[in-house]
């Protein structure tokens, strides 16, 4: 898959990766809830959001991958776009699972057996 035009090796259909994604997303969402309560300067809030995105990618794919994807400097636009793209990739994999399960559902198997 590609995130911000960088090729990334990550398979959402791999069972271990599914678990990693669930854990990383749970931590990400929890951190977002904490950031919502932040009352400081906007720049500090956006910095916290970016750090959360960097942590998400490092936890999900591996330490240092966030810098490879997003660069050294924190840029909120890049962070938001990267999250959008990874979620789109996850949704694509869910559709792939739905397509696979649809082909092998009980109804589809019965139809195949009766053909």
- For 6-60, give the DSSP string: EE----TTSHHHHHHHHHHHHHHHHHHHHHHT--S-HHHHHHHHHHHHHHHHHHH
Percentage of the chain lying above the pLDDT 70 cut: 90
What are the φ/ψ torsions at residue 113 (nearest 5 degrees)?
A: -70, -30
Assign 107 a pLDDT band (cuts: 50, 70, 90): low
CA separation, residue 34 to residues 7, 28, 40, 44, 88 (Å): 31, 10, 13, 13, 24
Q: Domain extents for the chain? A: 2-114
Q: What does the pLDDT read at residue 97?
A: 86
pLDDT in tens, 33-72: 999 999 999 999 999 999 999 999 999 999 999 999 999 9
CA separation, residue 53 to residues 28, 62, 68, 74, 98 (Å): 7, 13, 13, 10, 28
pLDDT in tens, 51-60: 999 999 999 9
Determine the Cα–Cα distance for residues 100 and 82; give it in Å rounded to an integer: 27
């Amino acid at each position: 898959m590609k995130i911000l035009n960088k090729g990334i090796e990550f398979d959402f259909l791999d069972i271990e990766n599914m678990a990693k994604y669930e854990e990383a997303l749970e931590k990400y969402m929890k951190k977002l809830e904490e950031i919502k309560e932040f009352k400081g300067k906007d720049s500090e809030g956006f910095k916290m959001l970016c750090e959360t995105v960097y942590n998400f990618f490092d936890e999900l794919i591996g330490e240092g991958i966030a810098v490879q994807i997003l660069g050294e400097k924190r840029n909120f636009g890049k962070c938001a776009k990267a999250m959008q793209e990874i979620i789109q990739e996850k949704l694509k994999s869910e559709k792939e699972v739905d397509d696979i399960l649809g082909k092998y559902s009980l109804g589809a198997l019965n139809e195949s057996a009766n053909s």
